Structure 1
Amino acid sequence: MSLFKNRFIAHRGLHNNLIPENSLLSFSKALEYNYAIEFDLTITKDEKVVVFHDDNLLRLCNVDKDIENVTYSHLQELNLHNSNEKIPLFKEVLYLVNGKIALIIEIKKHNSIGVLEDNIVKLLNNYDGEYFICSFERNVLTWFKNNNPHLKRGLIFESNPKKFEKYNKILFLYKYYKTKADFISLDYKLLDSSVYDFCKKNNLELITWTIKNKEDYENIKKKVNGVIFEKFIL
């Protein structure tokens, strides 16, 4: 039986030109369709766990500062894009979802290994719902393997730049055996590759990202257990 009861996963919530990514509004829209949601966690200077994708605030908030160098009170002064939406706290997302849909929680690269992860675990200890931890970062997944091995962990993996593609499988195997992830979140461009073949041969659960139209979804839907999608409705 698959880990993923709902194979449809909204990438950073259901966002568009009017609804910012990783906002409470984007997650509310996903709830309306009963989609699982994928979102990103990082940490502020004063160790608040917040939902945000980038290292820097420039793209989404028009402020050229790294999020790890500012306090949460500073973030409260900012809006996401041209909306009235704010950067949410992780605990606000947990309160909003309240176990209604699954959470695919990506932990971004950060400088506070152990601090962010420990704070996440404390919040999840009081949460009654389905969730999965995932990351590109080996040290993040290793922390969870060593400290909270009961949590379901996913290794996110993407293709190397073209001239280094021949090293894809070697790098993947290194990260996989170091982290012993429970599932793999694989770049859809690798669904016809030796990395994919290894995952299938070893019966690893697979989700893929990021599918942006129904044609691409139809082409890959039988290959994976879950699909992270955006820009359209499945």
Structure 2
Amino acid sequence: MSARRAPEWLTAWEYAHRGLHGDGVPENSLAAAEGAIAARLGIECDIQMSADNVPMVFHDWALDRLTGTDGMVASRTAVELEALALLGTNQHPVRLAQFLELVAGRVPLLIEIKSLPGFNIANCCAEVSRVLANYAGPFAVMSFDPRMGAWVRKHEPAFVRGLVGTDTLDHGFLSAWRAPGALEQADPDFLAIDIRDLPNALTDLWRADRRPLLSWTIRSPHLRKRALAHVDALIAEGEGLA
């Protein structure tokens, strides 16, 4: 694995999980981004691809939970997705390019590229990279999928890259971060590990080597206390925020 060190800004911030969202402010929306910026929080956001290959800031593969609309994100064009309302508000799914334009380097971004086993993550990484090419603000890309890190190391080695991991959430990448060769393949600058799985021997070794450990999702004062004892930066929401 690379011996390079992650930038200091990575652990100097707390990150609002999917932006600072709540009543009337949907997750991964421009309003959630503005709220995080106003609160001086970094932003964690998610990327799904539209039918016409545009990176969209959206968490789920399906549309129903966040828009009340049937179908998959990947079945709609970017324009069609932008026409949908988020959770009955005046907010709507936005392109990564528009999200970056609003944030404009005011706070750092953690950009999670969503993936599934068998997903063409190389195509997604290439499109996200193209959008980020001229972005001057601090950002990192991360994924549960070790293939993302391998792609970024080869094609965008200057990007800060992270490997997300869980031993609890069974979503196609359960304990994938522990698989033989996963860390070598992803070659991450940082780990972002499920708070439910901390502390553990592997992350203790990671931190002992002075490598950054982030954790998600911090949703309560209890989890916040645990995270502060074992990690370097928090990805939090609701009552888990400072």
Normalising by the residue count of structure 2, what TM-score does the alignment of the two structures yield?
0.88
Alpha-carbon offset, residue 3 of structure 1: 4.6
Structure 1 pair 223–40 and aligned structure 2 pair: CA distance change class (3 A): same
Correspondence 1:83-232 to 2 at 5 A: 83-109=89-115, 111-160=119-168, 168=175, 171-172=178-179, 174-232=181-239
RMSD (Å) for aligned C-alpha atoms: 2.1
How many Å separate the matches in 2 of 1:161 and 1:146?
29
State the secondary structure of the residue aligned to 1:54: coil
Runs of 4+ in 1 over 4 A off after TM superposition: 167-170
Q: How many matched pairs?
A: 230
How many Å separate the matches in 2 of 1:126 and 1:142?
22
Normalising by the residue count of structure 1, what TM-score does the alignment of the two structures yield?
0.91
How many Å separate the matches in 2 of 1:23 and 1:210?
18
How many Å separate the matches in 2 of 1:220 and 1:27?
23
How many Å separate the matches in 1 of 2:56 and 2:226?
35
Letter in 1 for 2:71: K
Alpha-carbon offset, residue 194 of structure 1: 1.9
Contact 2:24 2:89 in 1 (8 A): yes
State the secondary structure of the residue aligned to 1:81: coil
Structure 1 pair 180–3 and aligned structure 2 pair: CA distance change class (3 A): farther
Per the alignment, residue 4 of structure 2 pairs with none
Correspondence 1:10-89 to 2 at 5 A: 10-89=16-95
Alpha-carbon offset, residue 224 of structure 1: 1.5
Letter in 1 for 2:124: L
Contact 2:109 2:139 in 1 (8 A): yes
Structure 1 pair 168–87 and aligned structure 2 pair: CA distance change class (3 A): closer
Alpha-carbon offset, residue 142 of structure 1: 1.4
Structure 2 gap segments, 5+ residues each:
1-6
